[in-house]
Amino acid sequence: MKLYDELAEWWPLVSPPSDYEEEASEYRRLLHAGATGPLVTVLELGSGGGNNASFLKRDFRLTLVEPSEGMRKHSRELNPECEHLPGDMRTVRLGREFDAVFIHDAVEYMTTETDLRSALETAAMHLRPGGVVLVAPDATQESFVPGSSTEGGDEPEAPGRGSRSLRYLMWTLPPKLGSNTSETHFAMLLKERDGSVRSVHDVHLNGLFSRATWLRLFDEAGLDARLETRTLEGAPYDTFVAVKRRESREASSSPGVGSQRGT
């Protein structure tokens, strides 16, 4: 995906940290609401450019894992006090446990049940017993809404250097019948400091799973999960909060079946 590779240097114009304050506040609330025991150390998998971390670091000691070096570069500049490590959420193994694990919309790139199961197993493996995991996909099958939006930003003007600007159209298409994936197309116009403009087309393939599938995979990973559904700007958003079981799966009285709450 070009956005996280050759275009990674443009990330602050695509998604500025200031856009994340309200969202990060909600994730902070959900982590505290789901926590049992201390909540100090948090592992974020797929941490991207560190936008959520720039707010969550006020309350937690963060370890940030992200496969893209370009995105880690932005995050290190934004969050120098946080630990940054390379890694894929499906396979990374740090050999230590945390009070919580957070996965934001990078989980959308898990396009098969095998991928998603691996990511949830990674989360469980890095949690202490009783630790909390928060996973916030952009959509489940039940909450998915196709559509388009236009956004972008401008660099601050630098004397004698000019500034860069970016505008993009993001178009999320309906999934094909029976498919567990959806496509999002980005049409981007990038204005360089010399005034020249170029266009880029980038396609992202995202996993799209039912709420029941999510809850089943949490259960298989040893995590007791519940679904939190809230409404933002008229659209439903599903977030999963889960606790790592202290006892074996066989001894658990009600694994994997949680409550649904709307706010």
pLDDT for residue 249: 46
Per domain, the residue ranges of the chain are 2-141+208-262, 147-207
Instruction: Please state the pTM of the whole predicted model.
Output: 0.91
Written as six digits, the tokens of 58 are 């006020």
Alpha-carbon distances of 101 from 4, 63, 72, 88, 206, rounded to whole Å: 22, 10, 18, 14, 21
Average pLDDT, whole number, for the chain?
A: 92
- Closest to 240 measured CA to CA, from 219, 225, 255: 225
The model's pLDDT over 195-249, given as tens digits with 9 standing for 90+, comes to: 999 999 999 999 999 999 999 999 999 999 999 998 776 778 999 999 999 864 4
Three-state DSSP state, 258: coil
**Going by CATH, does the domain composed of 2-141+208-262 fall within 3.10.129.10?**
no
The DSSP letter of residue 30 is H
User: How far apart are the C-alpha atoms of 42 and 132, rounded to whole Å?
Assistant: 9
- Closest to 136 measured CA to CA, from 239, 243, 211, 46: 239
pLDDT for residue 257: 36
User: How far apart are the C-alpha atoms of 104 and 239, rounded to whole Å?
Assistant: 9
User: How far apart are the C-alpha atoms of 125 and 129, rounded to whole Å?
Assistant: 10
For residues 145-152, give the mean pLDDT: 95
Nearest-10 crossing angle of helices 113-125, 211-220 = 50
The answer for residues whose C-beta is within 8 angstroms of residue 107's C-beta and 6 or more apart is: 46, 89, 116, 119, 135, 136, 137, 207
The model's pLDDT over 7-20, given as tens digits with 9 standing for 90+, comes to: 999 999 999 999 99
Half-sphere exposure of 167 (CA within 13 A, CB side): 5
pLDDT for residue 259: 35
Written as six digits, the tokens of 149 are 């939006």
DSSP 116-137: HHHHHHHHHHTEEEEEEEEE--
**Going by CATH, does the domain composed of 147-207 fall within 2.20.25?**
yes
Confidence of residue 260 (pLDDT cuts 50, 70, 90): very low
Rg value, the chain, Cα? 19
The residue with greater pLDDT, 134 or 159, is: 134
User: How far apart are the C-alpha atoms of 171 and 60, rounded to whole Å?
Assistant: 35
The model's pLDDT over 63-110, given as tens digits with 9 standing for 90+, comes to: 999 999 999 999 999 999 999 999 999 999 999 999 999 999 999 999
**Distance from the first to the final alpha carbon of the chain:** 34
